Amino acid sequence: MNCKEASERLAAAVLGDLDRDEQRAVHAHLAGCDRCLEEEHELFRSMHLLRAHAGEEPEVDIHDAVLARVAETTPPRRRVGLLTQTLLTAAASALVVVGLQTALQAWNASPVLPVSPASRPGGATTTLLQGTLFDRQRHVPDELRSLREQLRRGDARLPIDL
Amino acid sequence: MAATDNQLMNRMSTGDMEALSAIVLRHQRGLVGFLTRLCGSRDAAEDLAQETFLRVYEARSRYRPAGRFTTWLYTIAYRLFIDTRRAWSASRTEGMEEKQVADRRAATPEAATIERDLSRRVRQAIDGLPEQYRPVLLLRSRREMSYGEIAAVLGCSENAARVRMHRGLALLRRRLKEAGLLDPSTDEE
């Protein structure tokens, strides 16, 4: 290794960033070269000065200023009392229950086209479930087919004019 | 035992303002020191540090302790510095901190004067380095960050951080030598 090659690697050597072989080669060069050895000492001293003076933390107190700025940017939270919270929760729950009940009643009260139980798979169970939500979901296609037949025969009319 | 930074961040995310207070007290000196060397202005550095802590607070619920807290903190600070540097580039000053630091370290008034002068000249040499080298030198030497952490702060590759450190140190040696600060007579020990 010549002086130019050693000089290019000296900073890395001082910082311990060379692999073992390169480090060994640099040290071998330094053992016989006073000029490069002096440069290595200067790099060590530079690091020392950097550590000692560059980032020396000055007396700082920005603590209060930071907290004041955070307080400025954070809107005050509205405090909701326990009683208010309970009442609001109860009201919301009641609304949900009433809504569900009304929807179910409306659904079950709507007319169901008669379909012969014998024509369905499931027999007696299907008869028991007739008119319920389960029954309607399962047999809506049957009802639509029946309505289409009635329309074709002129036995039924759509509530709007197309 | 003192709470770790990550524990404080967890507490902060639940609205604990004392956790924010502890974070600020723990890191304000290091952060202002770092930013002062980047900005060259103590006032600008304090403004940026305040803004940095404000961003930390705003991001408290999004914080995930994947790495060291300081890496995240200094990443925020460095990005703020990059975003705002045009605003204060002309206001480089040497402030009171040199006097305070030198006085704290030196045993006698004469020694304090010498120490202050040395600090000023070292800082001048660092401030005169190209901007790409300064943050790497400071994060490596003062914050003892790994190259991976420095890369995360600066938004560059790990190898780029390593190369900048080597070149920055070599350049700093030349500047300090030109300033006569590498003579054995200037040794502090």
CATH number at residue A42: 1.10.10
Q: Cα(B183)–Cα(A69) distance, rounded to whole angstroms?
A: 47
Residue of chain A whose alpha carbon sits nearest to that of B95: A58
Reply yes or no on whether the pLDDT at B23 is more than 90.
Answer: yes
Backbone angles phi, psi at B136, to 5 degrees: -65, -45
Residue A91 lies in a domain: no
Share of residues in chain A with pLDDT > 90 (%): 19
Reply yes or no on whether the pLDDT at B24 is more than 80.
Answer: yes
Q: What is the pLDDT of residue B177?
A: 92
Reply yes or no on whether the pLDDT at B96 is more than 50.
Answer: no
Read off the tokens for B104.
């704290």
Measured between CB atoms, does A72 come within 8 Å of chain B? no
Q: Do B30 and A57 count as a contact with CB atoms less than 8 A apart?
A: yes
Q: 124-183 in B: which are within 8 Å (CB) of A?
A: 126, 137-138, 140-143, 162, 165-167, 169-170, 172-173, 176-177, 181-182
Rg (CA), chain A: 44
Residue A121 lies in a domain: yes
Question: Which of the two residues, B171 and A145, has the higher pLDDT score?
Answer: B171
Q: Cα(B132)–Cα(B188) distance, rounded to whole angstroms?
A: 29
Q: What is the pLDDT of residue B184?
A: 63
* Count: domains in chain A: 2
DSSP letter string, B119-142 = HHHHHHHHHTS-TTTHHHHHHHHT
Domains along chain B with CATH numbers: 1-85 (1.10.1740.10)
Of B28, B140, B177, the CB nearest to A60: B28
Least confident segment among A12-21, A63-72, B80-89, B123-132 = B80-89
Mean pLDDT, to the nearest integer, of B99-125?
Answer: 71
Reply yes or no on whether the pLDDT at A74 is more than 60.
Answer: yes
Q: Cα(A87)–Cα(A23) distance, rounded to whole angstroms?
A: 75
- pLDDT confidence band for B94 (50 / 70 / 90): very low
Question: Which of the two residues, A49 and A56, has the higher pLDDT score?
Answer: A49
Show the domain range for A122: 111-157
Residue A11 lies in a domain: yes
Question: Where does a domain end: A19, A37, A54?
Answer: A54
pTM of the model: 0.63
